[in-house]
Amino acid sequence: MSSDRVLLGVVAAPHGVRGLVRIKSFTEDPMAVAAYGPLSDEAGKKNYRVEALSASRDAVLARIEGVADRTAAEAIRGLRLYVERKQLPNAGEREWYEADLIGLAAVGRDGKDWGKVVAFHDFGAGSVMEVSGGAMLPFTDEAVPEIDVAGGKVVIDPPAGLLAGRETKEA
């Protein structure tokens, strides 16, 4: 489900009194959230120049042009920051932008329709793919053995017992 813009991060919270913010980055290298030029809001109407200052486990400390104090930083909490797809490098072999997988059909090896890919999460132990209906499975080669963006599907083979209604997989 390719789009012309890709979500790179979300303003999580203000930091201090001088307008700095913490950004939850969705880039492989968290500091890269500021590396692709101006970012825009969800509507694509307003641009933001972001300067990444440092990274911690869960966020990037950043300065956003025009945000000079805590009140202004608080006002943009939750701001979703997008970049034009053409600013991003092409994905390599066996690499995908998560944005390209959102909306693809999730189909079992047996052809069973498990719904659609709705989101990706990382709770610290690796990426997890969420399928409509709330099912979550590890985003690994074993659990997701095939990805066909052009064909509009991902093939899933979840571990036994992970998804309700799934027959037990032989060990």
The stretch 134-143 carries a mean pLDDT of 89
Indicate the pTM of the whole model.
Answer: 0.72
Phi/psi of residue 73, each to 5°?
-65, -40
What's the confidence (pLDDT) of residue 83? 93
What's the confidence (pLDDT) of residue 35? 93
* Mean pLDDT of all residues belonging to the chain: 87
Dihedral of CA atoms 161, 158, 124, 5 in degrees, nearest 10, equals -140
Domains of the chain: 5-87 (2.40.30.60), 98-156 (2.30.30.240)
Taking the C-alpha atoms of residue 98 and residue 7, their distance in angstroms, rounded to an integer, is 10
